[in-house]
Amino acid sequence: MLEVTYLPSIVVVGTQWGDEGKGKIVDFLAKKADVVVRYNGGCNAGHTVLVKDRKFKFHLVPSGVLQGKIGVIGNGTVIDPKVLVEEIEALKHEGIDLKLYISCKAHVTMPYHRIFDRGKEIKRGREKIGTTGRGIGPTYADKMKRTEAIRVSDFISEKFEEKLSRILELKIPELLEYGIIKDEGELESYKREIMEEYSVYAEKLRGFVTDTSLLLNKFLDEGKTVLFEGAQGTLLDVDHGTYPYVTSSNATAGGACTGAGVGPRRINRVIGVAKAYTTRVGSGPFPTELTDEIGDFLRERGHEYGTTTGRPRRCGWLDVVILKYAKRINSLDELALTKLDVLSGLEKLKICVAYEIDGKIVKEFPASISELEKCKPVYIELDGWEEIERSEWREIARKDFEALPKNAKTYVQKIRELVDLPITIISVGPDREETIVWKA
């Protein structure tokens, strides 16, 4: 098997709407890394990593910790202390020796953020975003507002209660609106309820908190290999995604700099993770969506149900217009292609190479959502390959690219040619071993 070559700092980003299988790719690359960093999002993300048939679920802790690597949760993330404490305890329970650092500048999701998130979705009715309901949007909104935010440094300080009291006062109208308190008289008892539970979390997390930007830059100065693990995907980025049907953070490669506190010159390589077909959860336009039996086939075969919410994912053909857009926005150096095995058994495969909007052929991903809503995919068609048993995939992965079925090789080569990027990693199953390293 070929080896992946390493440079000190690598960003791994999703090229589609998240759920591309970044967790597995990061886990695979983490073998040779020293540090793995989360730089955006919160517990809306979810990775499942399979190691020798043992399933590990992650929402906040970088999955590299499974291999004894240093995990860092950067300033660009939002942290739900309840979820993080549960995750840390579960990992400790599994006997993982946890080396974890949490940024003092990251923002904290409070219980009311979760309630606001769900309440606002209900109010949006048919216009709903389809959020994960984890309080992500309201936490980032408070960060940007500056007056009602709680950073990790506040959360673990002695002044937390005082700060919380001031914030709750400002939030009275919303607390009433969403039925969290019935009248202002309940404010004090609501605060006490939070303090009782959350001061325990603060105590448990205090020892992990530091200035992670300082730490990461020191690691890079020492020549340590750092992997920056993007959560969600390019099309869910708050600036470059399909706004407003996006998450509230910068999921693209630029987010690694602001979200971890490292300068752009410190990034050596950017790997885009692309699923061999496309999926999305939540609302918003999706040009290659399949609402027929092929869509159902992809969902069932690919286990396309959310790790965080269990929601069925919408499924469709691979869209190269999206991959080329991700290449531009993230300065991708290469692609990692995942879930190629899921396509086995389909007679014909389609790849979207352009869109048609009002009779015109468009090759660039539209900047406006109303244009995107009008896009009709223009496809090329390729022959599929026969059904392959899981054990056979393992056998193929043990060999190399050449061992893939002929039509699977053609499919991968076509993507390589259309996107004009090397495809260096091909994943053909959930396990670490079901991975092919290919120098295209």
Binding site for ligand IMP (CB under 6 A): 17-19, 44-46, 129-132, 134, 136-137, 231-232, 236, 245, 247-248, 281-282
What is the nearest approach in angstroms of ligand IMP to the Cβ of residue 63? 13
Nearer to ligand IMP, 45 or 257 (CB): 45
Closest CA to 112 of 197, 231, 47: 197
Look up 113 and say whether it is catalytic: no
Instruction: Please pick, among 27, 34, 47, 303, the residue that the annotation labels catalytic.
Output: 47
What is the nearest approach in angstroms of ligand IMP to the Cβ of residue 372? 15
What is the nearest approach in angstroms of ligand IMP to the Cβ of residue 402? 33
> Which residue minimizes CB distance to ligand IMP?
282
What is the nearest approach in angstroms of ligand IMP to the Cβ of residue 83? 13
Nearer to ligand IMP, 115 or 408 (CB): 115
Nearer to ligand IMP, 304 or 396 (CB): 304
What is the nearest approach in angstroms of ligand IMP to the Cβ of residue 124? 12
Nearer to ligand IMP, 289 or 392 (CB): 289
Nearer to ligand IMP, 81 or 137 (CB): 137
On whether the CB atoms of residues 35 and 26 are closer than 8 A, the answer is no
Q: What is the dihedral sign for C-alpha 54, 60, 62, 65?
A: negative
Nearer to ligand IMP, 112 or 245 (CB): 245
Look up 47 and say whether it is catalytic: yes
What is the nearest approach in angstroms of ligand IMP to the Cβ of residue 292? 22
**Which residues are tagged catalytic?**
19, 47
